[in-house]
């Protein structure tokens, strides 16, 4: 603090009540140290509260991010022996695997065209019903709302907004493996 006395500016000292001694005048250096200590404690407290806030904010953002954006690892699960694949056409199979300490069962379709194997999830992209394959029309049909997909999994009729989910597939050591995100 400064006051104007006479021609120049002179510092005004603060007074402090000390226990048992009454009021004493603080030198400018003592006054500056006290403010520095106060500022340090204030900054340290705000820094600690900021770190605690970030500690809560980061997991909250993880929970709030859409599941589609989170990357999960693809694990290949054995489905059936290679000799059980049809030479041409579509075969329905049940895929069983463990994720998060529970057993998951889902239906998949294997489409074979001239030694090219493609796997599709049997879950309709509309509301999650399980689709069936009709050999006469060569289409996947959803029994819930009449959605239709061709042999390539592309939606061709009805309400499905997207094609069937294509799953990674490979044949190794005489076994057909299908990739699932775990």
SS3 letters across 120-167? EECECCCCCCECEEECCCCEEECCCCCCEECCCCCEEECCCCCCCCEE
Q: What is the pLDDT of residue 46?
A: 92
Are residue 25 and residue 81 in the same domain, yes or no?
no
Q: What is the pLDDT of residues 59-117, one digit of tens each?
A: 887 777 776 656 677 888 888 888 877 788 888 888 888 877 888 888 888 888 887 88
Q: Range with the lowest mean pLDDT among 71-85, 129-143, 160-174?
A: 71-85
CATH number of the domain residue 124 falls in: 2.102.10.10
Q: Which residue has the tokens 């294509």?
A: 166
Greatest distance between any 2 Cα atoms in the chain: 108
Are residue 134 and residue 47 in the same domain, yes or no?
no
Does the pLDDT of residue 31 top 80, yes or no? no
Nearest to 133 by CA among 146, 114, 113, 150: 150
Are residue 43 and residue 103 in the same domain, yes or no?
no
Q: How many domains does the chain have?
A: 2
- Who contacts 179 (Cβ-Cβ below 8 Å, separation ≥6)? 74, 75, 76, 77, 167, 168, 169, 170
Are residue 105 and residue 163 in the same domain, yes or no?
yes
Are residues 73 and 182 in contact, defined by beta-carbon separation less than 8 angstroms? yes
Calculate the CA 95 to chain-centre distance.
24
Are residue 39 and residue 94 in the same domain, yes or no?
no
The last residue of one of the domains, among 18, 37, 64, is 64
Are residue 44 and residue 89 in the same domain, yes or no?
no
The last residue of one of the domains, among 37, 64, 91, is 64
Are residue 134 and residue 177 in the same domain, yes or no?
yes
- Identify whether 69 is part of a domain: no
pTM: 0.57
Are residue 106 and residue 55 in the same domain, yes or no?
no
Are residue 43 and residue 106 in the same domain, yes or no?
no
Q: Provide the domain limits for residue 122.
A: 74-181
pLDDT band at 23 (very low <50, low <70, confident <90, very high): low
Does the pLDDT of residue 166 top 70, yes or no? yes
**For the residues 124-140, what does the mean pLDDT come to?**
85
């Amino acid at each position: 603090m400064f006051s104007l006395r006479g021609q120049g500016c002179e510092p005004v000292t603060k007074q402090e009540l000390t226990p048992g001694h009454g009021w004493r005048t603080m030198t400018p250096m003592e006054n500056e140290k006290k403010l520095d200590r106060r500022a340090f404690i204030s900054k340290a407290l705000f820094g600690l509260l900021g770190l605690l806030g970030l500690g809560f904010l980061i997991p909250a953002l993880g929970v709030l991010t859409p599941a589609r954006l989170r990357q999960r690892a693809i694990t290949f699960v054995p489905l059936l022996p290679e000799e059980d694949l049809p030479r041409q056409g579509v075969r329905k199979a049940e895929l069983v695997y463990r994720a998060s300490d529970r057993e998951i069962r889902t239906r998949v379709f294997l489409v074979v065209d001239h030694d090219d194997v493609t796997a599709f999830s049997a879950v309709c992209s509309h509301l999650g019903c399980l689709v069936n394959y009709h050999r006469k029309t060569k289409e996947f049909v959803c029994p819930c709302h009449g959605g239709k997909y061709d042999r390539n999994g592309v939606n061709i009729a009805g309400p499905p907004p997207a094609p069937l989910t294509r799953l990674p597939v490979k044949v190794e050591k005489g076994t057909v493996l299908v990739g699932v995100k775990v």
